[in-house]
Amino acid sequence: MKWATRARVHVDRAACAWLIHRFHDPEAEFVFVDDPADVPPDATAFDMRGVPLSHHQGRCTFETALLQFDLTGDPALEEIGHIVHEADLADDTFDAPVAAGLDVLIRGLSLTSDTDDETLALTHRLFDGLYEHIHRQILSGRPPA
Amino acid sequence: MSDVADTEDWVLLAYRLPREPSTPRSTVWRKLKRLGVAQLGDGLVALPADARTREALEWIAEEVLEHHGEATVWLGRPADAAARAAIRERMSAAVAAEYDAVTTEATASRDSDAATRRRVAARLRRELHRIHARDFFDSMQCEAALRAVDDLAAPLTDRALT
């Protein structure tokens, strides 16, 4: 499937692209647009104003995606949802000290990447690592050494 | 946070929410306050424009619409310099007062036991991060607050003699 979002991705869009790619649509193809009017007709838009897969009821787009893709049963993804929420919105809904660091890292990666595809290649690895770390922590009850 | 301080462009949110239920109204207002908006009138707020402040107000506009309100986001600049200076001054004063409150609290905890000092310092540092995010004009009071909290967190032996 084709997915479209705003160009110059930041934490919420990077997290959503990772979630789509790893948990929902392994064949996902991403398009980045400057203008909402440029979203291709065959693409599903996300993290843009006025589309279903976006911020709703105080949730960030990643949290909306967990609901839409029926992925709320995975506690590691739920925890990543809290981190992305705080990195994106910083409204203190959740206690997620990792959020501040993730925000800075992804901003830095997007500054040093030439294209959004290049940024996403790096952030996919970042979220793979974050997921693995949280997953193991949940299994063992303590942070992996 | 000062990269926007000298730009002329502002992003404005004009919004109206139904009086009832009152929860969305207070949620939206809490979020706007956290962003450090200047309130220009009833249902009209502004921030110095950059990609981040613009996106933040756009998401809040969406939230207002979801609660059956009306909201539009605008880009603009004050037509007269005096008005612009007055708004900047009001925003700076609000942030300065927040920094001063941190300085006062850090100073007041100086003589507590080590565990209390560290706990208060950790909380005040989180508070400083939040204040810094809405410090658009490089408040002079930031430095003193940072120093007071660093001093509170330092072991007694490292403390600057005063």
Task: Find the mean pLDDT for residues A44-69.
Answer: 96
Task: Tell me what the mean pLDDT of segment B66-90 comes to.
Answer: 93
What is the mean predicted confidence (pLDDT) over B92-112?
96
Is residue A81's pLDDT more than 50? yes
User: Is A29 an 8 Å CB contact of chain B?
Assistant: no
Contact at 8 Å (CB) between B72 and B61? yes
pLDDT at B3: 45
pLDDT of residue B1: 46
- Residue B4's pLDDT band, with cuts at 50, 70 and 90, is very low
Closest Cα in chain B, distance from residue A92 (Å)? 10
Residue A8 falls in which region: left (phi positive, over 0), alpha (psi -120 to 50) or beta:
left
Average pLDDT across chain A, whole number? 96
Residues B55/B27/B63/A84 CA torsion (nearest 10 deg): 50
Mutation for testing the A interface, residue in B30, B55, B58, B67 having most A CBs under 10 Å: B55
pLDDT tens column, B17-68: 999 999 999 999 999 999 999 999 999 999 999 989 999 999 999 999 999 9
Question: Are the C-beta atoms of residues B123 and B108 closer than 8 Å to each other?
Answer: no
Q: Is A3 helix (H, G, I), strand (E, B) or coil?
A: strand
- Contact partners, residue B54, CB within 8 Å, separation at least 6: B11, B73, B75
Q: Which residue has the tokens 């605008």?
A: B74
Nearest residue of A to residue B27, measured between CA atoms: A58
Give the pLDDT confidence score for residue B155 in this predicted structure: 77
List of chain B residues whose C-beta atoms are within 8 Å of the C-beta of residue A89:
59
> Residue A143 — very low, low, confident or very high, per pLDDT cuts 50/70/90?
confident
Report helix angle B81-108 to B141-153, nearest 10. 20
**pLDDT confidence bin for B2, thresholds 50/70/90:** very low
Q: Which residue is closest to A90 within chain B, CA to CA?
A: B130
Given CB atoms, is A58 within the 8 Å cutoff of chain B?
yes
Out of A49, A56, A90, whose CB is closest to B133? A90
**Is any Cβ of chain B less than 8 angstroms from the Cβ of A34?**
no
Q: Which of residues 63-82 of B touch A (CB under 8 A)?
A: 63, 66
Q: Is the peptide bond before A75 cis (omega within 30 degrees of 0)?
A: no
Residue (of B146, B140, B106, B137) closest to B36 by Cα position: B137
Handedness of CA A82, A86, A87, A88 (dihedral sign): positive
pLDDT tens profile B121-139 = 999 999 999 999 999 999 9
Confidence of residue B157 (pLDDT cuts 50, 70, 90): low
**0.80 cut: is pTM over it?**
yes
Q: Is the ipTM of this complex over 0.90?
A: no
What pLDDT shows up at residue A77? 98
CA distance B161 to chain A (A): 33
Q: Return the percentage of chain A with pLDDT > 70, whole number.
A: 100
